[in-house]
Amino acid sequence: MTYKCFNCKDEIPEKLIERRIICPSCGSRILIKTRPEIIKKVKAL
Ligand SMILES: [Zn+2]
């Protein structure tokens, strides 16, 4: 799971914010959890 900064929209790996929830790029504390997109296969008729 990765996080995304709300301010600069930079993706932050989970390891970087184990202790501090803060963006290393801009210092914003507002981070959004991003879930990996699940690609569902659509059955072709
Ligand atoms: Zn940021």
Q: Where are the domains of the chain?
A: 2-34
Whole-structure pTM value: 0.67
Neighbours of ion ligand 1 (CB under 5 A): 5, 7-8, 10, 23, 25-26, 28
Centre of ligand 1 to C-alpha 39, Å, is 27
Whether residue 2 has pLDDT greater than 80? yes
Q: Provide the pLDDT for residue 32.
A: 93
Distances (CA, A) of 4 to 18, 42, 45: 14, 29, 38
pLDDT tens digits along 4-45:
999 999 999 988 888 888 999 999 999 999 877 777 777 877
Centre of ligand 1 to C-alpha 14, Å, is 14
Q: Provide the pLDDT for residue 40.
A: 75
Centre of ligand 1 to C-alpha 22, Å, is 8
Distances (CA, A) of 34 to 1, 38, 42, 43, 45: 7, 12, 23, 27, 32
Question: Distance between CA 35 and CA 18 in Å, rounded?
Answer: 17
